Structure 1
Amino acid sequence: MDANAYINRELSWLEFNRRVLEEAKDETVPLLERVKFLAIFSSNLDEFFMVRVARLKRMILDGDQSVDPDGLTPDETLSAVSKRVHELAEEQHHCFLHTIMPQLTKEGIHLVHPDEMSGEQERFLEEYFHRTLYPIVTPLAIDPGHPFPYLANRSLCLVVSLRATGASRLPHTDLSIVHIPAQVAPRFIPLPARDGQHAFMLLEDVLGHYLPRLYHGFEIVSCHAIRVTRDADFGIARRDEDLLMTIEQGIRDRRMGVAVRLQYDPALPKEIVAQLVEELELGIEDLYPGAGFTAFTDLFQLYAAVNVPRLKDRPRVALSVPALEDAPDIWSAMRSGDVLVFHPYQTFDAVTRFVEEAAKDPKVLAIKMTLYRVSASSPIAQALARAAEAGKEVSVLVELQARFDEEANITWARALEKVGAHVVYGMVGYKTHCKICLVVRQEADDIRRYCHLATGNYNVRTAGVYSDLGLFTCRDAFGQDLTELFNLLTGYTRPHKFNHLLLAPVALSSSWRGSERRQITPAPDNLRASSPR
C-alpha cells in the first residue's frame, strides 16, 4: 500500500479548518463576520483537541504504535498535528492583533485596556466589580496546605504571582489561581461610550485591575491568563454496557478529563509554566503561547454585542415552500407529489409544521422519529410530547451519543418517556445518524404513511445555518422502507430489502464501491475514459 496515496485524517481536518481561518483573513468579508470566523476557527480547534488529540494521546499512552495507511504512527501524527496547529495559531493571533483589531478601532469598536479608561468608565467598572464580580470570585492559594486547584475545561483563569508587603501571623502564598466567572459575566464587558462608539474591556483585564482589592497586604508581581483544554471524548458504549448509564457517567467524567493543551500569555514566568506543565502532566508540544489574547472562541460574544448591520452579512430571510404553503393542509400537499426542500434557503418551518400538524391531527395514529441533536427548547420534541399525551403511538430514537449534546438529548428522552412515548436510546455499538420521520394517518379509504427524510438534524437553530436537504413524500415504497428501518432501530428486526435506502453498516459501503467500480470500468476503444463530475 502506497502511503503517499493517503492523506492523514487529522492533518486533513486541520486544512479544512485553515479554510475557516482564510475567511477571517479575507478583506472582502464584512468585518464582524471575520471576527465570527476567528471564533469558529477556535471553537473547531477546541473540539479537535478534546476529541482527536485526546484520542491520539490515549493511543500513545496505551503503547499503540500501529501505522495508518498514510504511513504515520500515533506519535508521528501527534507531532505533525502540534507543528501545524502552532503555525495556524500564530496566523490567527497575527490576523486578530494586526489586522482585525486596528480595523475594529477604525470602526469605533474599542477594546479598552485599564490604563486607557475614562473617568466615567472607571466609575462604571468600580460599581460593576463590587456589585457583580467581587461576591463570586474565589482566589485559590497554591501552597503545601492547598492542593493544586482544578482548572476546568476551556475556562479562563488568572495565574497571580504575589509578594507579601509586610510581616503577618497569617499564612501567605506566592502563587494563586483566580477562576474567571464566565458563567456570570460576559468576556467582553460593555463600557460607557460616546454615541456611535462601542467600548469593551476583557473580563480578565477587569479582574486583573482590581486584584489588589482581593489581595490585601500583597504586591501583585505578575498576572496572566491561562486556559486548559481537556479530554472530553468518552467513546461509544460497548454492547454489554447500559447505554444511558454509560453516557451519564461519561458526562460527569468529561469535566475531569486529562489536560491536552495549555494556552497562555508568553509573558507568563517560565517557572510558573514549568509548574503548570508538571501539575497538568503536559509535554512541550501541548503548550500554546499567544500574546495579547487567549480563547478566541469568545469572539462570538463580541459579534453578538455589536449591532452594526453594515459590518455584518445582510440577513437573508428563508423562502417559503410554495408546494406546502399553497395547499389546504400538509397531507394534501404531499399527496400531490414529493416536495424537496433546501435549508437554510427554504424555511425549516415546513418541517416543524409537519410534526406539529401530525401531533394535533386526530386522524394521525402514530409518529416515529429519530432525534440526533435536540435543542433545549425544541418545538419538534414538544410536539412529540403533545402527541404522546393525546394518546397517539409515539416512538422516538434519541441518539444519546451525539457528542456535546448528550445532556439535552437525555433531558428530552426522559421528558418523552414521562408522557408515554416509546423512547429508544440509540443502538449500542453504533451511532444512529439518520434523520427520518414517519407519520401513519388514517385516510378515508386506507392507512397512508407520510415520510420526511433529511440530511440535517431536527434542530431549528442549526437548520438556519447549515445547508441540508429534506424530502417530504407519501410514496408507499418510502413508507415501507421507513417502517422496516424503524423496526430495526427499535426492535432489532432484520430488514427485508429496501426500495430506496442504503443502510450502513449493512449495504452502503458495498453499494458505493460497486458504483465506483462501474465508473472506473475501462471505456471501449473508441471512447475516451473520464472521471465522473
Structure 2
Amino acid sequence: MESDDQISSEGLVPSDKLAYLEDAPAAALVEDSMPGIADFNQPENFFNRELSHLQFNARVLHQVINENHPLLIRLLFCCIYSSNMDEFFEIRIAGLKQQIKYGRESVGADGRSPAQTLQALQEQIHELVSLQYELLNNDLIPALADERINFLRRTDWTPEQQDWIASYYEREISPVISPIGLDPSHPFPRLVNKSLNFIVELDGKDAFGRETGLAIVPAPRSLPRLVKLPAEISNGDCLVFLSSIIHAHADDLFPGMEVKGLYQFRITRNADLVLEEDDMEDLAQALRGELLSRRFGDAVRLEVADNCPEPLVNFLLQEFGLAETECYRVAGPVNLTRLMAVSALVNRPDLQYPNFNPSTPAELRHQDSIFEVIARKDILLLHPFQSFTPVIDLLRQAAKDSNVLAIRQTLYRVGAKSEIVAALVDAARRGKEVTVVVELRARFDEAENLELASKLQEAGVVVVYGVVGYKTHAKMILIVRREDKGLKRYVHLGTGNYHAGNARLYTDYSLLSCDDQLAEDVHRIFLQLTGMGKALRIRKLFHAPFTLHSKLIELIGREAKIVSEGNGNGYILAKFNALTEPRIIAALYAASCAGVKIDLIIRGICCLKPGVKGLSENIRVVSVVGRFLEHTRAYYFANGSAGPEGGEVYCSSADWMTRNLVNRVETCFPIEAPVLAQRVRAELESYLRDNTYAWSLLEDGSYTQVKAVRGEPAFSAQDYLLGQLTG
C-alpha cells in the first residue's frame, strides 16, 4: 500500500523523455485536465522553434538603431548579437547539421524537416549579417567618431602612430605569433573554435626552396583584439584592431617573400557536448574528457573578409567541409564580440547608462538577524532593481550562526570565486552539514562548475551532480536552524541563478520564506536529488519532471472552464523566456477559443501563433528587449477574479519549453502573501504598457516594435521599475 507521501506513476508525467508525447496514461492525464486540446496540435498552428530563436537575435540586433539606448550600449548590443549568433551556430545550427548528417531527422511541431529549417535559417542569417555590418560601418562607427572614439585604419595612421604600433608589434606580437606555411610537411593546421586567423597568399621561394603560395597565421588568443593608442599621439580615443597591426607587418612574418594578400577568417564549430549517459560511471570524469574536444568539433560556419579572393574562399570551404551557403563574407572584423572591450578602453560614462543603487527592503535594513525578519513575513526581491545582497547575507549569517545545523543548495551558474561559494565553504569549515547539488552540464560553464565542485569538496562540502539525464535547473536553498520551539527551516527560491554578476544584469525574482510546507517540499526535492526512492508528494510546489507540466495545463484548463461555465473572469498573464512545448501551446489555444484573455510576455522563442481568428484571437504576445536581460518567470491565473486582489501568482525556474518541463529538475512556487502577489501582477502588467523597448508578435511570425501613439507618453517597464524599486 502506497503512503500518502508517495505518488503513483499514474499521477505523474512519465519520466521517460519521449513518453510524455506518446504514453497513453500521460496523454489521458492531459486530456482529463483539458479535453480536446489534441485537436489544436496541428503543424500549421506552430511557428518553427529555430526561426523564432533567430527572430529574437534579430530583435537584439535592432537595438543598435534604438536611440533610447546610449551610444556605447548600442555598440554593446551589436556585440551581444554576435555572441548570441556564435552560440546559435555552435548549438542550434550544429544540431540540425548533425541530424541531417546521421539520418536522424525528426520533423518539428511545425512540420519542417531539419533540412528545410536549415535552408530557411541560412537565408535569413545572410541578410542579418549584411544588416549588422551595415549598422556597424554606417551608424555606429561614424557616431563614435563624432564622440572622438576612432577605429583607425592603417591608411589613417600618422607617422608617430606608425612608429608606436611598430614598437608594439615587435614587443607584444612578434614573439608570440607563429605563421604556418602550407606544404606536405605542414598540412592545414587544426584551428580552434572561433579563433581569429589569416590566410596569406605568397609569391617567391623560402630559404628551403619551398614555393607553396599559401600560409595560415593564427592570431594568438592571449592578445587583445583592440589596442588603444597613447593619448599623446591620439586625437581623442584612438583604437586599432589587432588584425590591422598584423596586416601592416605581414612582410615581417615572411622575410624575402612577397605577401600578395592577407585575409582574416574565423571558423565556428559544433560546441555541444555529447555524453553517453547509459555507459557513464563518473559524470565529472566524462565531462572533463568531452571538454577537451569542444574546441575542435565539426565546422559549421566560415566567416571571411569580403575582399578575400574567391579561390582562397573555396580552398577554405573545401578544407572545412562547408558549402557556399555556410560562408559569410563580412565587411569588417570577423569577431565583433571582441568590441565589448571598447567600454573598458574608453572612459565615457556619458555614453553609458547611469549607475543605480539596487534597493533593500526596509525590513532588512539595519537588522542583525535576517532569520528574524523572514520569520515574521515572506520577503520578495526583484533583481536587479532590488539587491541580491540579502540572498548572500542569508548564507553568510547561516555560516556563522551556531544555531544553524545544515545548508542545502542547488548551483547552476555561479562562479568558483563568488561570495555564495565563499559562504558555503565557511559553513562547511565551521562544521555545518553542507550539501550542494552542482549542475555540471550548465552549457559553457562546465569547466567552471568542475572547478567549483572541487573547491567545495576540498572544504568538506558534500557535492552531488543531480540526476543523470536531467539537468538540475531549480534554484533552491534550504537552511535548518535550531530555535526555541525546535528546528526551523528557511528557504530561498528563485527564478534566476546564484550569480551576483547576473543579478545586476538579469531580471529575476527571489523569495525568502520560512513557510513550513514550502520548506518541507524543498526538503523532499533535495531528497530526490541526493538520494534514491519513489517520487514524494509535493504539496505547495509544482516540480518538473513530475507535476509541473500537468499542473500548468490544469491551471490553463481551469481558466477555460470558468469562462465556459459562466462562473467568472478568465485571464492568464505569464512572463517567461520561451514557449515551445506543444501541449502547453494547444492548451492555450483551447483556452483562447473558450474566451480566456491571455497576455504572454516572452523574451525569446515563441512557437505559438497569436491573434489567429478561430484559434488564438484572445492571445497577445509581447517581447521586451532593453537594458536588462528579461529573465523572470512569473505566472498569474485569475481563477474567476475580476480585480487585482484575487487570482493566483506563481514564480518559477522553468520556461514553458519541453526541455524544462520534461528533461530538467525545475520548481514553480506560489506567491501567497496577498500584497506580494498583487505586486507581482502589477509588475507584470507594466511590461504590457511598454512602448519603448517592447515588440509585438504578429500572426505571420514577424515582430513589430510597439510605439507610442500620438499624445501618449513614452513608457519603459524597466525604467518604471528602476524608479519604483531602486534606492
Change (3 A) 1:407 1:168: closer
* Distance change >3 Å, CA 58–CA 169, structure 1 → 2: closer
Where do residues 101-500 of structure 1 align in structure 2 (5 Å cutoff)? 101-164=141-204, 168-183=207-222, 185-193=223-231, 197-235=236-274, 237-241=276-280, 242-500=282-540
TM-score by length of 2: 0.71
Distance 1:362 1:61 in 2: 59
Identity, in percent, stands at: 37
* 1:182-226 CA-partner distances (Å, limit 9, x unpaired): 32x211100134677100110010011011111101111001110
Please give the alpha-carbon distance, in whole angstroms, between the structure 2 residues aligned to 1:433 and 1:167: 57
Bigger mean CA deviation after superposition, 523-532 or 409-418: 523-532
Q: Measure the CA separation in 2 of the matches of 1:455 and 1:384.
A: 21
One-letter identity of the residue aligned with 1:151? L
Which residue, 61, 75, 78 being the options, matches 2:115? 75
Stretch moving more, 374-383 or 87-96: 374-383
**What CA distance in whole angstroms lies between the structure 2 residues aligned with 1:299 and 1:116?**
20
Match of residue 7 from structure 2: none
TM-score (ref. length: structure 1)? 0.96
Report the alpha carbon displacement of residue 400 of structure 1 after superposing the two structures with TM.
0.3
2:120 maps to a residue whose letter is: A
**1:520 counterpart SS class:** helix
Q: Matched residue of 1:467: which SS? A: strand
Partner residue, 1:38: 78
How far the C-alpha of 1:42 sits from its partner, in A, is 0.6
Aligned equivalents of 1:455, 1:526: Cα separation in 2: 32
Question: After superposition, what is the alpha-carbon deviation per residue over 1:235-283, rounded to whole angstroms, capped at 9, x for unaligned?
Answer: 4552441311221112111011011000011211111111111111111
Q: How many angstroms apart in 1 are the aligned matches of 2:472 and 2:279?
A: 18
State which drifts further: 477-486 or 324-333.
Answer: 324-333
- CA shift, 1:388, in A, is 1.1
Q: CA deviation at 1:104?
A: 0.8
* C-alpha distance in structure 2 between counterparts of 1:36 and 1:53, whole Å: 24
Q: Report deviation, 1:336.
A: 1.4
Tell me, in whole angstroms, the C-alpha distance in 2 between the residues paired with 1:428 and 1:273: 43
- Structure 1 position 137, deviation (Å): 0.3
The separation in 1 between residues aligned to 2:383 and 2:139, in whole angstroms, is: 33
Quote the offset at 1:114 in angstroms: 1.6
Which 5+ residue runs of structure 2 have no aligned equivalent?
Answer: 1-40, 570-594, 600-727
Query: Which of 516, 523, 526 pairs up with 2:564?
Result: 523
Q: Structure 2 CA distance, aligned partners of 1:20 and 1:211?
A: 36
What is the distance in 2 between the residues matched to 1:169 and 1:175?
Answer: 15
Question: Shift of the alpha carbon at 1:167?
Answer: 7.5
Q: Which amino acid aligns with 1:94?
A: E
Distance 1:330 1:40, change over 3 A: same
- Separation in 2, partners of 1:107, 1:391: 57
SS in 2 for 1:217: coil
- Cα drift, residue 119 of structure 1: 2.3
Question: Shift of residue 304 of structure 1?
Answer: 2.4
Residues 239 and 429, structure 1, Cα contact 8 Å, conserved in 2: no
The answer as to whether partners of 2:79 and 2:339 remain within 8 angstroms in 1 is yes
The answer on whether the counterparts of 1:237 and 1:429 sit within 8 Å (CA) in structure 2 is no
Alpha-carbon distance in structure 2 between the residues aligned to 1:492 and 1:122: 67
Q: Distance between the aligned counterparts of 2:287 and 2:554, measured in 1?
A: 37
CA distance in 2, matches of 1:93, 1:169: 42
Q: 1:526 and 1:148, CA in 2 relative to 1: closer, same or farther beyond 3 A?
A: closer
Shift of 1:318: 1.2
Q: Deviations over 1:485-507 (max 9, x none)?
A: 11001002334321221111100
**What's the secondary structure of 2:501's corresponding residue?**
helix
Q: Distance in 2 between matches of 1:72 and 1:427?
A: 32
Q: Which amino acid in structure 1 is aligned with residue 265 of structure 2?
A: I
Decide whether aligned partners of structure 1 residues 167 and 120 sit closer, same or farther in structure 2, where only a CA change above 3 A counts: closer
- In 1, Cα distance between the equivalents of 2:294 and 2:468? 20
Q: Distance in 1 between matches of 2:135 and 2:356?
A: 28
Structure 2: how far apart are the matches of 1:5 and 1:495?
35
Q: Distance in 2 between matches of 1:160 and 1:376?
A: 41
Deviates more, 1:25-34 or 1:97-106: 25-34
**Number of residues of Structure 1 aligned to a counterpart in Structure 2:** 531
Q: Which amino acid aligns with 1:445?
A: K
Alpha-carbon contact 2:270-2:298 (below 8 Å) kept: yes
Identify if the C-alpha distance between structure 1 residues 35 and 272 changes in structure 2 by more than 3 Å, giving closer, same or farther. Answer: same
Distance in 1, matches of 2:245 and 2:350, equals: 30
Aligned to 2:710: none
Per the alignment, residue 92 of structure 2 pairs with 52
Question: In the TM superposition, what whole-angstrom CA distance separates every residue of 1:142-199 from its partner, at most 9, and x where no partner exists?
Answer: 11111111121111111111111x675443431111111232x211100134677100
Aligned AA for 1:192?
P
Which range is displaced more, 516-525 or 94-103? Answer: 516-525
Q: Distance in 2 between matches of 1:436 and 1:236?
A: 26
Whether the 8 Å contact between 1:153 and 1:230 is mirrored in structure 2 is yes
> 1:108 corresponds to which letter in structure 2?
R
**Aligned letter for 1:39?**
C
Whether contact under 8 Å (1:321, 1:350) holds in the other structure is no
In 2, Cα distance between the equivalents of 1:236 and 1:530?
43
Pairing 1:26–2:26 present = no
Q: Distance in 2 between matches of 1:471 and 1:41?
A: 32
Q: Distance in 1 between matches of 2:69 and 2:519?
A: 45
**One-letter amino acid of the structure 1 residue matched with residue 64 of structure 2:** A
Q: Which amino acid aligns with 1:530?
A: V
Q: Distance in 2 between matches of 1:307 and 1:236?
A: 45
Residue pair 1:49, 1:229 contacting (<8 A) in 2 also: yes
